[in-house]
Amino acid sequence: MAEYKHVTVPKEGERIQIDADNKIQVPDHPILPFIEGDGTGPDIWKASRHVFDEAVKKVYGGKKKIAWMEIYAGEKSLGVYGKDQWLPDETLQAIKEFKVAIKGPLTTPVGGGIRSINVALRQELDLYACVRPVRWFQGVPAPVKEPQKLDVTIFRENTEDVYSGIEFDANTQDAKDLIALIKQKLPKKTLREDSAIGVKPVSAFGSKRLVARAIRYAIEKNLPAVTLVHKGNIMKFTEGGFQRWGYEVAKAEFGDKVITEAEVWEKHNGKRPAGKVMIQDRIADAMFQQLLLRPDEYSVLATLNLNGDYLSDACAAQVGGLGLAPGANIGDKAAVFEATHGTAPKYAGLDKINPGSVILSGVMMFQHLGWDEAADRIIAALSKTISKGTVTYDLARQMEGAREVKCSEFAKYIAEAV
């Protein structure tokens, strides 16, 4: 048990444990660390926490209860820990010890220091899967005719590809040395002397653990398919490797719980046998088309970092934008749930902003804890509140006849509807 200087561990709660098989063990009164977030973070957090506590109270009647524990990152952390302490060691230590945390948006420090607190959190805690469920809520204005047809969960690899890419600027000695080396190894390659050079690392280890997590999720949720999205037709060893390793891990770890699309056609006339998750793959550009043309044929997508970056935002836009898009960064030993939008500083302290993204990331957190009933009830309550046209400004300005309410009021209505 670690000693903390500025974190008060609640006496009434217990620690979540992760066993040797990476299975999470959740007590009835788990201690859950939270980071309030910068800018609009305090407004959003207060509203979301109200929904979480009310939902747990109503669903479990006092049997289960969360012991919240504040930890610090971002601007608030500078006040508590001092200059340049954007992400103090204690915060990382607390997430490691308590296993599951939730956070509001954080300011990205400008100049010097760490590049982004969010990226640092993912790297330091090896949160290798960025998980983004994307679905439409009745009443939310969307740019497509049938937004309800899209309901996918994207598993984006969070540690490799462009996240650990290495670049050399054009005309530097390093770039010149690399060009010379490549020409020596591959004399037939034409490489312009003034090229910038990028290195894209993709490993079997990183790809397999990400795909395995996506398949496990599909099996647990009884979903029909996992689609490996890649650009292996062009990048045969990195993106193509991801595809190959994905199929390999599916066969090696999940045996007859899964079936490949090819087998479905060869042996079952194109009809997936009940109870089996179909493993298929799509080239990234075709995937973007498919998500617009036949979105209901897809449920879980597993992909590398850059493809996942584009896909998550494109899917979120398709169902009405990022305001309601939750996210999680999950590893084998810890998980951090978060809003996908930023701090929206111009609305700070105005009790105006939409807390939906943090509320829905809390839903993901409850699902991670196995508290599915609380998760389902919050989703139903949020849907009901939006479909009645009781919404924050961002949705109200696009919805005819909507009644604009404050951030805290929106949360109050959701909590009442749970």
344 is an interface residue for ligand NAP by CB under 6 A: yes
Nearest-Å Rg of the Cα atoms of the chain is: 23
As measured in angstroms, the least distance from the Cβ of 237 to ligand NAP is 32
Q: Is 276 a catalytic residue?
A: no
- Catalytic-labelled residue, pool 309, 313, 332, 376: 309
Q: 105 or 295, CB closer to ligand NAP?
A: 105
User: Which of 52, 47, 49, 93 lies closest to 71, judged by CA?
Assistant: 93
Give the CA-trace dihedral at 380, 382, 385, 386, to 10 degrees.
-110
List 103, 200, 208, 231, catalytic entry: 231
Query: Which member of 213, 341, 384, 412 binds ligand NAP (CB under 6 A)?
Result: 341
Query: Which of 48, 299, 357, 361 is the binder for ligand NAP (CB under 6 A)?
Result: 357
Q: How far is the CB of 374 from ligand NAP (least distance, A)?
A: 22
- 407-417 and 372-387 helices cross at what angle (nearest 10)? 120
Catalytic residue (one of 89, 174, 285, 372) = 285
Cβ-contact 264, 284 below 8 angstroms: no
Q: Which stretch binds ligand NAP (CB under 6 A): 89-97, 99-107, 172-180, 266-274?
A: 99-107
Considering only the stretches 172-180, 350-358, 368-376, 408-416, report the one whose residues sit in contact with ligand NAP under the rule CB under 6 A. 350-358
Q: How far apart are the first and last CA of the chain?
A: 36
Q: How many CB atoms lie within 10 A of CB 69?
A: 19
Residue 174 annotated in active site:
no
Spatial neighbors of 317 by CB under 8 A, at least 6 apart, are 143
- Contact status: 323 vs ligand NAP (CB under 6 A): yes
- CA angle at residue 239 from 368 to 306, to 5 degrees? 60
Please tell me which residue in 72, 163, 217, 413 is annotated as part of the active site: 163
Give the pair of three-digit tokens for residue 248.
């390999």
Residue in 243, 280, 312, 343 binding ligand NAP, rule: CB under 6 A: 343
Q: Which of 13, 33, 88, 105 binds ligand NAP (CB under 6 A)?
A: 105
Q: How far is the CB of 137 from ligand NAP (least distance, A)?
A: 14
HSE-CB of 63 using CA atoms within 13 angstroms? 6
Judged by CB under 6 A, does residue 118 bind ligand NAP? Answer: yes
Assess 319 for contact with ligand NAP (CB under 6 A). no
Q: What are phi and psi of 414, to 5 degrees?
A: -65, -45
163 given a catalytic annotation = yes
- What is the side-by-side strand order in the sheet with 225-230? 67-70, 31-35, 100-103, 335-339, 326-330, 129-135, 151-157, 300-303, 225-230, 277-283, 258-260
- Contact between 179 and ligand NAP by CB under 6 A: the answer reads no
Given 354, 361, 383, 385, the residue binding ligand NAP (CB under 6 A)? 354
Q: Residue 33, interface with ligand NAP (CB under 6 A)?
A: no
Residue 201 beta carbon to ligand NAP: minimum distance, rounded to whole angstroms: 24
Name the residue nearer to ligand NAP (CB basis): 45 or 242: 45
Rounded distance between C-alpha atoms, residue 200 and residue 254, angstroms: 29
Query: Smaller CB distance to ligand NAP: residue 106 or 152?
Result: 106
Q: Could you say whether residue 312 binds ligand NAP (CB under 6 A)? A: no
Query: Which member of 48, 107, 207, 318 binds ligand NAP (CB under 6 A)?
Result: 107
**Smallest gap from residue 255 Cβ to ligand NAP (A):** 38
Q: State the minimum distance, in angstroms, from the CB of residue 340 to ligand NAP.
A: 6
Interface with ligand NAP, residue 361, by CB under 6 A: no
One symbol per residue from 394 to 413: x for binding ligand NAP (CB under 6 A), - otherwise; what is it? Answer: x-------------------
> Is 353 among the residues that bind ligand NAP (CB under 6 A)?
yes
Distance set, CA 184 to CA 11, 176, 178, 236, 400 (Å): 65, 12, 10, 21, 65
Alpha helices in 86-203 (DSSP H): 89-98, 117-124, 173-185
Positive/negative CA dihedral, 229, 250, 366, 37: negative
For the chain, the maximum distance between any two Cα atoms, rounded to a whole number of angstroms, is 71
CA separation for the pair 16, 27 (Å, rounded) = 6
Q: How far is the CB of 102 from ligand NAP (least distance, A)?
A: 12
Residues near ligand NAP (CB under 6 A) are: 105-108, 118, 323, 338, 341-346, 353-354, 357, 394
Catalytic residue set = 163, 231, 285, 309
